[in-house]
Every structure is written in C-alpha cells, then in structure tokens.
Structure 1
Amino acid sequence: MKLYEIQQVKNEKTKPSEYVLSDGNGLQLRVMPNGTKSWHWSYKSQSTLCK
C-alpha cells in the first residue's frame, strides 16, 4: 500500500489527459487536465463494487 503525503498531492502536475494515482487498496487520486484533483474510493459491500 502506498500512502500519499499532502505535499506529494499538492505537487502533482497536470498532463494533457486525466490520470489516476492509486494506493492499491481502492483509494485513488484523479488529476484532471484543468488542475482539478479529486479523491475516489472503491470498496466492496455485499459482493458489489461501489464507487
């Protein structure tokens, strides 16, 4: 599992297309071309994948 520090997240640069950084346990940081950063968490609940 990779843990992200606040400074790492702040320093992420934009790219021409959206990209995702994952911790390997369902937590993802999505970085959009316009600079927007958002967290997404995927988890299983009663054998259903939720986002």
Structure 2
Amino acid sequence: MEPTPEHLRALYRRCVAASNMMQPINIVRMDERTQRIFMLIADTIEVEIFPNG
C-alpha cells in the first residue's frame, strides 16, 4: 500500500515540526489495515496520520 499525497504532506510537516523542537523521530510505520501512518517522537509523542492528512 502506497501513502497518499495527503499522507506525505502531513508526514513532512510533522517531521519538520519535530526537528524544529530538536526531538528524535524513533518510529515511522504505516498500518496497512487502517491505512494510517504512526509516528513515535521522543519516546512520548505519538502521532497518527489519517489517509486524508
């Protein structure tokens, strides 16, 4: 399953925001069942990106 363009735009914005806060991005994973992208930032911040961004 490929990420949608909305997925990629939202992922890019979250990655830039995390790097601006000097936080490490530990995990980025796409759940193919729900078609959501999951991010773990700095061991405590969990982000879910829905298919519509």
The two structures share one fold, judged by TM-score above 0.5: no
Higher relative contact order (CA 8 A, sep 6+): 2
How high is the TM-score relative to the length of structure 2? 0.38
TM-score of the superposed pair, with normalisation by structure 1: 0.39
Bigger strand fraction:
1
Query: Which protein has the bigger helix share?
Result: 2
